[in-house]
Every structure is written in structure tokens, then in C-alpha cells.
Chain A
Amino acid sequence: MEEIFNPQVFFVFLGIPVTKTVVSTWVVMGFLVLFSFFLTRRMRPVPTRLQNVLELFVEAILHLVEEMSPGNGKRFLPLVGTLALFIGTSDVAGLVPWLKSPTSDFNTTLALALVVFFAVPFYGITIKGVRNYFRSYLSPSPILAPFHVISEITRTVSLALRLFGNIMGEEIIIAILFLLSPLFLPLPMMLFSIFTGIIQAYIFTVLSVVYLSAAVESSGH
């Protein structure tokens, strides 16, 4: 139980503790990179089954972005697609023995939310220009500018907390069930946690796309 709250520190690198979360993140990253590397090494015109899965995923992300912010599908694809893949894989990774879901650590989810937090002005400025982007803070009236800033901060925190709370809650419930009876009893909850994890990955992705497309939307002002 204790380990869920305070992940085990393996070693300290440059004064930064390398926790089990970070190691799990590396494992997930390595898995994703190797997986995609071997799958895309030889792209065929007529896709094989696994290549088809990849293409379906990429097309789903493109479709999702294009629906909310037409024309920006390819621009947002790396960030949004990586968010979806990484969060989805991390949520499920908690079921693998010796691994801890990187997303059940608030550091990870806050890191992801911060990346989205900084990606919003980055894309907004690159697409709309500095003046136009900061002018959108002044609409509908300059009095509301502080509220825009506050809403950006709170939505970032809520993005991080939502993902963290869901995954961590699942993990604690599984741990409690495991304490009650290590055999079979946690299984239904584990299955449910796969579902929850994928849903949470989807929600995080959709919300990121909503925030990003709100930032690059030019029809406003």
C-alpha cells in the first residue's frame, strides 16, 4: 500500500530521484518506440493486419482533430497521438507485474498536463501569431483576462488530477482487493481498470484537442 503513494526510489541522477514511476515510463516508452519502429520499418501499400491497426489509430486521431479544428490534423497529430498512446499504454501497464502505472503518479500526470498547458500558447502563437493569440485573452472584455489565465491553470490541474485520481483509485481498489484475497478477487476490477484506463486516455486526448483547437481558432477574433 505504501508503495502506491510513495514510489520506490531506485537511484538519484543529477540530484533528481529516479523513482519506479520513471523506470516504468522508460519501459513503456521503449515498448512503444520498438513496437512502432518494427511495424513501420516496412510499410506496405496493402497493409498487413498490425499495420492496419496503426493506420486505424492514426486516422482516428486525425479525424478527431479535424472534426474540432479543421486543417490542423497533421500539426497536432504528434502531440495528441503520443498523448493517447502513452496514457493508454501507461494505464494498462499497471497490470504488468513489476511495473507501476506511470499515470498513477501525480508527477507524470502533472507533467503531461503541463506539456498541454505550454503546447496551447505554442500552437496558438505559431498558427495565429503573437498579437492575435494574446488578443484572444482580451475578449470579450479585458476585465476577463485574469479569468482566462485562471481557467487555463485550473483546467491544467484538473486534467492532471482527473487522470491521476482515476488510475490511482483503480490501483488502490485493486490493492485492497488483493489484500482481501490475492486469488481471483481482483480480476474483475483489473479488467475494469483496462476499460477505465482507455476511457481516461480518450478523455485526456479529447480535452487536449479541445483546448488546443480553442487556442488556434481564428473565427473568434
Chain B
Amino acid sequence: MIRIDRSIIFQIINFLTLVFLLFRFLFKPVVKALDERSDRIRREFEKIEEEKKALEEERRRLEEELKNLKEKYLEMLDQANREAQKIKESIIQEAYREAEKIQREYERRAKREMEQLLLELKEDIVDISEEVAKRILKVHITPEVQTRIIEEMLEEAVSRLEAQLGSTHEG
């Protein structure tokens, strides 16, 4: 039953033929297809990798640009701030100067008016006191004495008035 006969030669030849035929019809095409597929997948992967790299590059570039823009923006903001500060200061200065001018103008005008008033008042007082004195001292006063008295009185009146004016002005 375990009889080895010459058909073993047939079986060896059969098997080697089968190896050849299957290699020709099965393994070669299948391996080729598998290789092609893995090749294509690898290529695709490489392409994707490349695209990823390009995108990364683009992103870095954009980020760089964004940073630059931000810097520029900050700089501009700074400059604008500084300019605004300057303008503000100049405006304030101007306003101060204006205010001072106006103040001085008013002061001058007030002084002038006061002087005028003083002058008028002086004249009025001179007139009145001259009248009063004339009337009182019609009899025995020489014109020299009269003038001296008048001047004394006038001076006194002026100084009093000035003192009074000064205190009100300061107050």
C-alpha cells in the first residue's frame, strides 16, 4: 500500500510544471498588482507629504506676514499716539497762550478804564473840593495856599482810593 512506483516521477514533473504555471499565471500578476498598488499608495503619500510641506511653508509665510503687519500696526499706533500727544500739547499750549492773551487784554483794559475812572474821579474831586474850598475859604486864603491844600487833599484822596481799589482788585 505504501508503494513507491515510478509514478512519483510524474508527480514531481507535475508539481514543477504547476509551480511554473502558477508563477506565470498567478503569482507574477498578483505580485505585480500588489507592488503597483503599494507604489501608487506610496506616491500618493509622498504627494500628500509634499503638499503638507508646501502648506506649512505657506502658513509660516503668512504668519511671518501677520507678525510684520502687527509690528507695523503697533508702530503706527505708537506714532499716532505720539502725534496726538504732540497735537494735544500744542493745542493746550495755544489755549493757555490765548487765555493768557485774553487775560492780559482784559487786565489792560481794566487798568485803562480804571485809570480813566481815576482821572475823571480826580477831576471831579478836584472840582468839588475846589468848589467847597472856594466856598469855605472865600475870605482869607491866598491862591498859593489854596493850591497847596488842594494838592494835599488830592493826594490823600488818590492814595486812599488806590488802596481801596487795590484791595478790591486783589479780593
Whether A59 and B34, one on each chain, are in contact in the complex, defined by CB atoms closer than 8 angstroms, is yes
Q: What is the distance, in angstroms, from A205's C-beta to the closest C-beta of chain B?
A: 13
Whether A16 and B34, one on each chain, are in contact in the complex, defined by CB atoms closer than 8 angstroms, is no
Contact pick for B4, options A40, A82, A102, A107, CB 8 Å: A107
Which residues of chain A from 1 to 30 have a CB within 8 Å of any chain B CB? 5-6, 15-19, 21-22, 25-26, 29
Which partner residue on chain A sits nearest B29 by CB separation?
A40
Contact pick for A33, options B18, B29, B32, CB 8 Å: B18
| Interface residues as binary, B5-31 with A (CB distance below 8 Å gives 1, 0 otherwise) | 111111110111111011101110111
Q: What is the distance, in angstroms, from B72's C-beta to the closest C-beta of chain A?
A: 53
Whether B25 and A102, one on each chain, are in contact in the complex, defined by CB atoms closer than 8 angstroms, is no
Q: Which residues of B contact A33 (CB under 8 A)?
A: 18, 21-22, 25
Q: A6-B3, A78-B27 are in contact. Are A107 and B22 (CB under 8 A)?
A: no
A36 at the interface (CB under 8 A from B): yes
Q: What is the distance, in angstroms, from A158's C-beta to the closest C-beta of chain B?
A: 14
B1 at the interface (CB under 8 A from A): yes
Whether B11 and A5, one on each chain, are in contact in the complex, defined by CB atoms closer than 8 angstroms, is no
Q: Which residues of A contact B16 (CB under 8 A)?
A: 115
Whether B15 and A115, one on each chain, are in contact in the complex, defined by CB atoms closer than 8 angstroms, is yes
- Chain A: interface size category: 35 or more
Q: When chains A and B are docked, how far (Å) is the Cα of A37 from the Cα of B36?
A: 19
The number of residues on chain B lying at the interface, defined by a beta carbon within 8 Å of a beta carbon of chain A, is 33
Q: Which residues of A contact B33 (CB under 8 A)?
A: 43, 45, 47, 51, 55
Contact pick for A32, options B5, B11, B18, CB 8 Å: B18
Q: Which residues of A contact B15 (CB under 8 A)?
A: 82, 86, 111-112, 115
Q: A32-B18, A33-B21, A112-B15 are in contact. Are A17 and B7 (CB under 8 A)?
A: yes
Majority secondary structure, B binding face: helix
Q: When chains A and B are docked, how far (Å) is the Cα of A16 from the Cα of B5?
A: 8
Q: Which residues of B contact A77 (CB under 8 A)?
A: 27, 31
A81 at the interface (CB under 8 A from B): yes
Q: When chains A and B are docked, how far (Å) is the Cα of A55 from the Cα of B10?
A: 30
Whether A25 and B11, one on each chain, are in contact in the complex, defined by CB atoms closer than 8 angstroms, is yes
Which of B1, B3, B9, B31 has the largest number of chain A CB atoms within 10 A? Answer: B31
B37 at the interface (CB under 8 A from A): yes
Contact pick for B12, options A18, A54, A115, A164, CB 8 Å: A115
CB within 8 Å of A: which residues of B? 1-12, 14-19, 21-23, 25-27, 29-34, 36-37, 40
CB within 8 Å of B: which residues of A? 5-6, 15-19, 21-22, 25-26, 29, 32-33, 36-37, 39-40, 43, 45, 47, 51, 54-55, 58-59, 74, 77-79, 81-82, 85-86, 102, 105-108, 110-112, 114-115, 164
Could you list some 5 contacts between A and B, CB below 8 A?
A21-B7, A32-B22, A39-B26, A81-B27, A108-B8
